[in-house]
Amino acid sequence: MSEDREGFRRLHPLTPILRGWKVFAAAVAIAAQQAYGDVEISWLLIAIAVSIPIGAAYGVLSWWSTHYRIGDDDLRLETGVLFKRSRRVRLDRLQAVDVVRPLVARALGLAEVRLEVAGGSSSEAPLAYLSEASAQQLRAELLARAAGLQHDTPEAPEAVLLEVPLSRLIEATLRSGATIGGLFVLFGVFVIAGIAREWSVLSLAIPIALAAVPVTMSLVGPHFGFTVAESPDGLRVRRGLLETRNQTVPPGRVQAVRIVEPWLWRSQGWCRVEVTVAGYVGTGQEAASVLCPVAPRAEALQLLARVLPGIDIDAVPLTGVPPQARWLDPFAWRQLGVGADNRVLVNRSGRLTRRLDVVLHEKMQSVRLSQGPLQRRLGLATVHLDVTPGPVHANVAHRAAADARALLDAEVDRARLSRASAGPDRWMTPPGGAAAPIVTR
């Protein structure tokens, strides 16, 4: 990270390699697709060879034309080779600062800094790539400036709240529906081969077994080494095997929470915690949605006590739905329930996979009531509570129509009162005081 004109800084000198190889990779992919056509191999090899200097030139020019500068209240990023583009990111609208290290970047000791800004449609002004030390330093500087502190303020200390052991993560993956479904398919292949005496059918087991590898990696890889720590700037989440990610969930940005308890996990008392975080959009929201991939429910509730201080989810009484709801949801209607206190609304649903949605009244953006033709005939209605787009969608289904209307009116009043009494969400403010470590088993 070096400075040039007017205090602007450049990205790491190895950035052209990471940007240029994408052109080469695209050429190889096209060549691989055309290898089965009528195109001669020599022409494909020439195309691949030509892509090398083109990719190198693109990487160098892109790196040379990219500059960034951090001011007291904004970050400026200038990019573009033929068409110059200058972006200004206000630090007071900064929602999150994440450090991401893709596999190739990790091999070169580099990292990418991604900024999430309020109202943005994607990650704003991603800085790719910096050295790992420079990325962490830049992250600390941005967080300090966003909090109104001196730019050289050291990174805030942290206390580890939760660590997910690899053995638990693997066992949870083996207990997933995808894994059990794959085993049933394999068992069916062997049964069919044995009954029909057609042993060639067993060849189908090979692609099925191979397909299990990416499925397992997609569940274990992103959550490998999952650690949650608390600091004054928010909850810090570190995870990843091939691509490591260091995220910060700022105080007050959590809009809603979902506790998921799959059927095959309940014998171990495990659950998963998902959150909707304001500021993240698209793939960023998907990456930030898992606050805990798998943990005993007691540990998950201790973690939620840091996210939602002063709220006891289990203390909120829930009321079920009328018996006529069984005609619309015959399997899970007994599990449906909703309740509220002065801070949150809690909604329970699901039978095989139980879900408990927790929505803060002050974060609610709108409340809707819907009633389909069958619901009207049965005297039922559904209340929808809308928050920032994310994994948590609280739909209070199949309530008695009068109860649904009363719930809607009550939620409007609770949301108004909660917003009036809620303080501002600020960076560098501990959520609920000092952290108490969670003991993992």
- pLDDT recorded at residue 433: 44
- pLDDT recorded at residue 162: 93
Asked if 336 contacts 324 with a C-beta cutoff of 8 angstroms, the reply is no
Q: Give per-residue burial for 21-47: e unless 16+ CB within 10 Å, then b.
A: bebbeebeeebeeeeeeeeeeeebeee
d(CA 74, CA 70): 6
pTM: 0.82
d(CA 173, CA 181): 12
Low-confidence ranges of the chain (pLDDT < 50): 428-441
CA distances from 230 to 91, 157, 193 (A): 22, 8, 55
- pLDDT recorded at residue 94: 77
Per-residue pLDDT of 89-111, as tens digits, reads 888 777 778 899 988 888 889 99
Q: Which two tokens stand for residue 29?
A: 């992919």
- pLDDT recorded at residue 211: 67
Range 5-146 classified under CATH 3.90.1310: no
- Name the strand (E) or helix (H) holding 431: none
- pLDDT recorded at residue 45: 72
